[in-house]
């Protein structure tokens, strides 16, 4: 019998199953002939699950109920072992969309980290595609490969993991102009842009996933200055969950406010020069003197006129004067309020 996990249909040997038991405790098991889940609530033989539909509820030896579901890819990536920080599912979905990752695409990614993004990319390109993943740290590459194997049940033959630096090794790994999409998730993506420009096919997409605004700015300017890409676009995705129960319908109190930014651009054809589209910021590269240059004009902000500024000053002064009056009124009447007596002593 095949032990490659299936993503739908009745449970069978080799499938991963997520069980939600007493007190909402989660257990993830891989179904085996003769296997058993032992908890202090009793024993659940794997045979109870084999052959029954996904989404079933079963009982263990002590009569406790367990809801059995196959983990979705997003459940798996959030709970799998991590060597490095992962790309969250909300960002992976945006990466696939903004970088236009398609079935059959030749995709390069770095770094592999824990393999979260690799799993989404492998699913999107399918077995007609090819994914070449670079990772500097061998231990991380091992974690990623193990995670992919755990989820898919095998190492896909169309996935090539290379331990090494993308900037140094990409030129020997792929033919120039042969790659459809490149996804960079690393601290210094600008170090890889020259190699990426060489590898990408005309019209191909490079997408960088970066954590801070300073990295975002630096890689954007690097890409612009090559003259080899279209004007970069950038965005971030904030997902706010909602509590929807009866008449209590409202946003969740907590959310993950920041994970990273996406920035992407397309490779121009050899010799093509992109038409000038936007007014450029007056300053676009970093130097030591830049500490003095974080002015609104230098970063592309509209500057306030002298007239508007004087208006703002008057508004601020009026507000301060109002606050001073309120404070002196409160002082003169403080003795009238018994609650103020202690504070005046
Ligand atoms: C944040 S992790 C990647 C996480 C991964 N995308 C995931 O979803 O699990 C960044 C990884 O990039 C690797 N890295 C950084 N620069 C690299 C380079 N130039 N070439 C290859 N790997 C690189 C680091 O070792 C690290 O493992």
Nearest CA to ligand 1 atom 15: 186
**Which tens digits make up the pLDDT trace of 202-249?**
999 999 999 999 999 999 999 999 999 999 999 999 999 999 999 999
Q: Report the C-alpha gap between 69 and 17 in whole angstroms.
A: 6
**What ligand 1 atom has the least distance to the C-alpha of 188?**
16
Position in ligand 1 atom list of the atom nearest CA 84? 2
pLDDT of residue 126: 97
Looking at residue 61, its pLDDT comes to 97
pLDDT at 294: 46
**Superfamily holding 76-275+284-289:** Vaccinia Virus protein VP39 (3.40.50.150)
For ligand 1, atom 11, name the residue with the nearest CA.
Answer: 111
Q: What backbone phi and psi angles, to 5 degrees, belong to 57?
A: -115, 130
Q: Given this model, what pLDDT does residue 299 score?
A: 46
Strand ranges inside the chain, DSSP E: 16-20, 26-30, 36-39, 42-45, 56-59, 65-69, 106-110, 130-135, 159-163, 179-185, 200-210, 233-236, 242-245, 248-251, 261-266
Task: For residue 115, report the distance from its CA to the centre of ligand 1, in Å.
Answer: 10
The arithmetic mean of pLDDT across residues 176-184, rounded, is 98
For range 186-211, the mean pLDDT:
98
> Which ligand 1 atom is at minimum distance from the Cα of 82?
9
* Interval 311-332 mean pLDDT: 66
For residue 166, which atom of ligand 1 is closest to its CA? 20
- pLDDT computed for residue 55 by the predictor: 97
- Ligand 1 centroid–CA 184 distance in Å is 8
In order of 112, 115, 144, 163, the CA distances from 141 in angstroms are: 6, 8, 5, 7
More confident residue, 344 or 235: 235
**Residue 337's pLDDT band (boundaries 50, 70, 90)?**
very low
Rounded (5°) CA angle 77-83-87: 40
Q: Is 121 in the pocket of ligand 1 (CB under 6 A)?
A: no
Q: Where are the domains of the chain?
A: 16-71, 76-275+284-289
162: pLDDT strictly greater than 60: yes
Flag whether the pTM goes above 0.85.
Answer: no
Mention the CATH class of domain 16-71.
alpha beta
pLDDT at 308: 72
């Amino acid at each position: 019998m095949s032990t490659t996990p299936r993503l739908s249909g009745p449970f069978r040997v080799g499938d991963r199953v997520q069980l939600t038991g007493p007190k909402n405790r989660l257990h993830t098991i891989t179904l085996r002939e003769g296997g058993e889940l032992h908890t202090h609530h009793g024993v659940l033989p794997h045979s109870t699950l084999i052959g029954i539909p996904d989404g079933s509820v079963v009982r263990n030896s002590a009569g406790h109920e367990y809801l059995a579901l196959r983990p979705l890819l997003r459940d798996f990536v959030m709970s799998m072992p991590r060597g490095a920080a992962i790309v969250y599912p909300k960002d992976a979905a945006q990466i696939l969309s903004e970088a236009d990752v398609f079935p059959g695409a030749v995709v390069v990614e770095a770094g592999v980290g824990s393999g979260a993004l690799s799993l989404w990319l492998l699913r999107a390109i399918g077995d007609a595609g090819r994914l070449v993943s670079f990772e500097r740290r061998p231990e991380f590459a091992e974690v990623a490969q193990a995670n992919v194997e755990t989820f898919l049940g095998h190492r896909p033959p169309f996935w090539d993991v290379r331990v090494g630096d993308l900037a140094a090794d990409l030129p020997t790994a792929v033919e120039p102009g042969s790659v459809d999409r490149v996804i960079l998730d690393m601290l210094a993506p600008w170090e890889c842009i020259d190699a990426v420009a060489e590898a990408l096919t005309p019209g191909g997409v490079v997408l960088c996933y970066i954590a801070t605004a300073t990295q975002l700015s630096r890689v954007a300017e690097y890409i612009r200055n090559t003259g080899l890409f279209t004007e970069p676009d950038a965005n971030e995705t904030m997902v706010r969950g909602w509590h929807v129960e009866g008449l209590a319908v409202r946003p969740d109190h907590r959310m993950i406010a920041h994970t990273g930014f996406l920035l992407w651009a397309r490779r121009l054809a050899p010799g093509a020069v992109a038409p000038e589209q936007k007014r450029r910021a007056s300053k676009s590269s970093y130097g030591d003197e830049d500490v003095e240059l974080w002015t609104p004009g230098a970063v592309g902000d509209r500057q306030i006129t002298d007239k508007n500024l004087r208006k703002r000053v008057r508004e601020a002064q009026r507000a301060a004067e109002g606050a001073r009056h309120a404070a002196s009124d409160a002082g003169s009447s403080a003795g009238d309020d018994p609650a103020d007596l202690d504070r005046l002593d």
